[in-house]
Structure 1
Amino acid sequence: MTPAAEGRPSGSPGLRERKKRETRAALSQAAIRLCVQHGWARVTIDRIAAEADVSVRTFRNYFSGKAEAIAAGHVERMLRVADDLLARPAGEPLWDSLRHAVLGQFVPPDAFAPQNEGNERWYEGVRLMLAEPALAGEVAKANAAAQQDLAEAVARRTGTDTGGDVYPNLVAAVVAAGCAVAVEHSLRSDHPVPLGMALTQVFERLAAGLPVP
């Protein structure tokens, strides 16, 4: 039986856990923002901590370095996608719910607007940051953690079991891959493509069963 998705989902994090998530998110966002704006080599842990208005000791309580802090942003975003999925109307088709949840967390409200010079500079900074070899291992670990969290939400939403059914794990893996493809397409296309448009195309094709064009 599909669990109700109205109101606060059962199993939502308590106050302490939410505070920890907020701190992790603030540190991750500070690390990403600084590395995109100033370049990987110019950003130190001290600078990230100052940007997030916490001590270096607090930073080290959460992360071993800036690569882990940056990758953690993806895990946190997928946690919010999972939360949003469980909050969608119970009768809504799963892939519609997933599309809304992903777009709500990956795409800012103005993401469908034409690109401007500021956006182009930001995208170029993101491209350079993601090309850093030091990030590769942390991003792989983050993807694995993000898929597990999303799989558990899909299982609750569909009345399946991550331990006994392949379905929720498969859906989570497909969503993670689809998001990665959309981000890559948005960043590396010959003609800049807003991330919102790329994600919408990805989820429309997934919902249709990936028919041959």
Structure 2
Amino acid sequence: MADQRPLGLRERKKLNTRKALSDAAVALMYERGPDTVVREDIAERAGVSLRTFSNYFATKYDAVAYRHGHRIRLSADLLRARPADEPLWTALAEALAEPLRTDAAPYGQPPSAQPSTVRAWNATAEMRTALARVDTSALVAALTERIGATPGDLYPQLIANVAISAMNTVLDRFLDDSLEKPVPATLREVFDAIAQGLPAGRDSAAGDPAAR
């Protein structure tokens, strides 16, 4: 089992500062395009110095990407809490969907946010690089425990990579305003298709009305 020891005061303060900076970066992401937000803006919004920002994040994109990593870590904890006899892909769908629900919407999107603003950020090479650097080891560890794999086994990492790629695909469709159903419902359909081995053919695609 993963180490569940409580965080000390210093660790909690660091975690709170990191989250405050990320929250500020996400808020500014919705307010402005990527070219008009600088690190100083994020630090000022969070009430800290630029030096403090630099102690936690290398770039503004890393500060935004932290929200994604935070949700993955929450999902790892939620996966451990799912019933042991629940099918793996069902458990993963619920564990990954719940942090999106508690965020109010994907990426913590406020009601007034414009998806086009987020698309502008996601279209940058810097944002894609920052998202690719997000640590997924917590989810891999939870999967290793759940399926009884040996630490270091490739299979849990493969499952995590497929699951996160599927989630990102759904979120991209959400930002394109092309989803017919809410993100959690679509995610369940996608993971159901993965569990079936991704059957070939348009009529078998998750989310296609003809398949339902």
Counterpart code for 1:34: L
Task: Tell me the TM-score normalised to structure 2 length.
Answer: 0.79
Q: Does 1:155 align with 2:149?
A: no
Identity of aligned residues (%): 35
If asked which structure has higher relative contact order (CA below 8 Å, sep 6+), I would say 1
User: What aligned pairs does 1:56-135 form with structure 2 within 5 A after superposition?
Assistant: 56-108=50-102, 118=111, 121-135=113-127
Q: Which ranges in structure 1 are unaligned for 5 or more consecutive residues?
A: 4-9, 112-116
Classify 1:194/1:122 alpha carbon distance in 2 versus 1 (closer, same or farther; 3 Å).
farther
What are the Cα deviations for residues 20-45 of structure 1, in whole angstroms up to 9, with x where unaligned? 33332221121122022122222222
Q: Is the 8 A contact 1:28 1:70 kept in 2?
A: yes
Say if 1:207 and 1:61 are closer, same or farther in 2 by CA, change over 3 A: same
Distance 1:154 1:102 in 2: 13
Corresponding position: 1:28 with 2:27: no
Answer with 152-161 or 189-198: which moved more: 189-198
Assess, with a 3 A threshold, how the Cα gap between structure 1 residues 90 and 191 changes in structure 2: closer, same or farther: closer
**Residues 109/132 of structure 1: CA separation in 2 closer, same or farther (3 Å cut):** closer
Structure-2 change in CA distance of 1:110 and 1:44 (3 Å): closer
Partner of 1:7: none
Please list, as runs of the form range in 1=range in 2, the aligned pairs for 1:136-151 lying within 5 A after superposition: 136-142=128-134, 145-146=135-136, 148-151=137-140
Structure 1's 110 and 60: CA in aligned 2 closer, same or farther, altered over 3 A? closer
1:180 aligns with 2:189: no
Structure 1: how far apart are the matches of 2:38 and 2:196?
A: 45
- Cα deviation per residue 1:136-171 (whole Å; 9 max; x = unaligned)? 2222222xx22x3311110012211241x3321111
Number of aligned residues: 195
- Equivalent in the alignment of 1:6: none
Q: 1:200 aligns with which of 188, 191, 197?
A: 188
Question: Matched residues in 2 for 1:100 and 1:109: separation?
Answer: 14
C-alpha spacing 1:173/1:22, structure 2 compared with 1 (3 Å): same
TM-score by length of 1: 0.79
Corresponding residue SS for 1:15: coil
Q: Does 1:52 align with 2:46?
A: yes
Deviation sequence 1:117-154 (CA, Å, 0-9, x none): 945x4322211111123222222222xx22x3311110
Does the C-alpha gap of structure 1 residues 95 and 22 become closer, same or farther in structure 2, counting only changes over 3 Å?
farther
Q: Cα RMSD (Å) of the superposition?
A: 2.5
- The Cα shift of 1:66 comes to 0.4
- Between 1:182-191 and 1:95-104, the stretch displaced more is 182-191
